[in-house]
Amino acid sequence: MSEDLSVLDREVASVISSIPRGKVTTIKTIAESLGDKRATLAVFLSLKKLKNRGIEGWHRVVRENLQADPDAIPLLKAEGVTIRGNAVDRSFITGRVRKSAILLRMRYAQRMMRDSLVLKEVGDVRTAAGVDVAYVGDVAFGACVVMDRNFNVVEKSVVKVKALFPYIPTYLAFREFRPMYLAARRCEFDVLFVDGHGLLHPELFGEACHLGVALRKPTIGAAKSLLVGEIYGNKVFVNGIHLGWVLGGSYISPGNMISIDDSLKISKMFLLNRSQPEPLILAHMESKMASTKQS
DNA sequence: GCGACAG
DNA sequence: ATCTTGTCGC
Ligand SMILES: [Mg+2]
């Protein structure tokens, strides 16, 4: 069983179908025509998929250094494109390709939802949950694990859904939201840890914010590496503003309905001797286990 | 060789 | 995120 084309794959297919015969464009140009050059790697992976399915136009895309895929060379030569070594002659490059608003619309959605964020002190926290996702191809297994303050697991849920979108830096929630949301919605908790950033995001709206707004629940982002910001001591700053923390190997920031100070306080409360707060460690294991058992 | 981009 | 080897215990 092969994977379905993702929403992004179809956008890429649409863009490359607009490249005239006898012309080529670059991977980065396609990413930009979708709205963000950060999608360059995802476009590269998309093209590989389109090539394997023989979708028209895949061969008219080259790397930034003008190198063409070896399998594309005979096809390009047949259309009259001049190739020296593996590189296409510059005169055949076009930047005039169809544009898509997909990433711009996603960015806009983040900015709109950002207005719903509330940063305030969290109430009493008796239970905390963690959500994470594991993958087998494009099948996503989302897991939510709830613990009390003595680290006893009080509730768990696992869901299995198709991943409809690839990973693109700064758009992670558009890949992981559904499995995370569906798993979390089935549980009861006072605060939710999310395996990804909260405010530590170029739009101040990371995955943890996205989930917090949708669930209308306090959420905390806890990521294993930094996406934006600079570290001074145990604080993380973005554009000179203190938005998060370094804590035991993870980067903590508010998602929604919690203050910056409380995000640290609650994270410490649920931290054992590991790289992330315990509910996330367990959610990670739970999702991974579900993905291994099934498929 | 450099830089990189949460998961 | 996933892909991988060899090794150990059952
Ligand atoms: Mg994860």
**Cβ-contact A67, A87 below 8 angstroms:** yes
**Residues A137 and A15 reside in one and the same domain:** no
**Residues A129 and A183 reside in one and the same domain:** yes
**What's the domain count of chain A?**
2
**Residues A146 and A253 reside in one and the same domain:** yes
Question: Per the domain annotation, does A66 fall within a domain?
Answer: yes
Question: Per the domain annotation, does A106 fall within a domain?
Answer: no
**Cβ-contact A174, A165 below 8 angstroms:** yes
Question: Per the domain annotation, does A204 fall within a domain?
Answer: yes
**Domain with A40 in it:** 7-100
Compute the distance between CA of residue A173 and CA of residue A32 in angstroms, rounded to an integer. Answer: 20
Question: Per the domain annotation, does A108 fall within a domain?
Answer: no
How much distance in Å is there from the Cα of A287 to the middle of ligand 1? 9
pLDDT in tens, A214-254: 999 999 999 999 999 999 999 999 999 999 999 988 999 99
pLDDT in tens, A126-183: 999 999 999 988 999 999 999 999 999 999 999 999 999 999 999 999 999 999 999 9
Residues with CB under 7 A from strand B: A 38, 41, 132-133, 166-167, 169-173, 175, 195-197, 201, 206-208, 221, 223-227
**Residues A96 and A128 reside in one and the same domain:** no
pLDDT in tens, A263-283: 999 999 999 988 899 999 999
Q: What is the band of A58 on the pLDDT scale with cuts at 50, 70, 90?
A: very high
CA to C1' distance (Å), from A80 to C1: 40
ipTM: 0.83
Question: Per the domain annotation, does A107 fall within a domain?
Answer: no
CB under 8 Å to A202, separation ≥6 — which residues? A170, A227, A228
Q: What is the band of A259 on the pLDDT scale with cuts at 50, 70, 90?
A: very high
How much distance in Å is there from the Cα of A150 to the middle of ligand 1? 24
Mean pLDDT for chain A overall: 93
**Residues A220 and A289 reside in one and the same domain:** yes
pLDDT in tens, A104-127: 999 999 999 999 999 999 999 999
Q: Is 70 exceeded by the pLDDT of residue A295?
A: no
**Residues A81 and A127 reside in one and the same domain:** no
CA to C1' distance (Å), from A239 to C9: 53
Residue-level pLDDT at A12: 94
CB under 8 Å to A23, separation ≥6 — which residues? A60, A81, A92, A93, A94
**Residues A119 and A211 reside in one and the same domain:** yes
Question: Per the domain annotation, does A2 fall within a domain?
Answer: no
Domain boundary at A100, A127, A151, which? A100
Compute the distance between CA of residue A29 and CA of residue A157 in angstroms, rounded to an integer. Answer: 42
**Cβ-contact A256, A219 below 8 angstroms:** yes
Name which of A4-8, A20-24, A57-61, A291-295 the model is least confident about: A291-295
**Residues A137 and A41 reside in one and the same domain:** no
Residue A234: exposed, middle, or buried by beta-carbon count in 10 A (0-12, 13-18, 19+)?
Answer: exposed
Question: Per the domain annotation, does A45 fall within a domain?
Answer: yes
Domain boundary at A79, A100, A121, which? A100
Domain boundary at A41, A71, A100, which? A100
Q: Residue A233's domain is classified under what CATH number?
A: 3.30.2170.10
Q: What average pLDDT does this structure show over A13-40? A: 92
CA to C1' distance (Å), from A64 to B4: 16
**Residues A159 and A284 reside in one and the same domain:** yes
Residue-level pLDDT at A1: 58
Task: Report the amino acid identity of residue A24.
Answer: V
Q: Which residue is closest, via its CA, to the C1' of B5?
A: A169
Question: Per the domain annotation, does A1 fall within a domain?
Answer: no
Residue-level pLDDT at A121: 96
Q: Residue A77's domain is classified under what CATH number?
A: 1.10.10.10
Tokens representing A132 are 């994470």
Question: Measuring from the CA of residue A176 to each C1', which nucleotide is nearest?
Answer: B7
Residues in the 5 Å CB sphere of ion ligand 1:
A 132, 195
**Residues A206 and A143 reside in one and the same domain:** yes
**Residues A84 and A195 reside in one and the same domain:** no
**How far is Cα of residue A117 from the mean position of the Cα atoms in its chain?**
20
Compute the distance between CA of residue A89 and CA of residue A284 in angstroms, rounded to an integer. Answer: 48
φ/ψ of A59, rounded to 5, equals -80, -10
Tokens representing A256 are 């929604």
CA to C1' distance (Å), from A97 to C8: 56
How much distance in Å is there from the Cα of A117 to the middle of ligand 1? 23
**Residues A150 and A201 reside in one and the same domain:** yes
Give the closest residue to A97 by CA, choosing from A9, A31, A7, A44: A31
**Cβ-contact A131, A193 below 8 angstroms:** yes
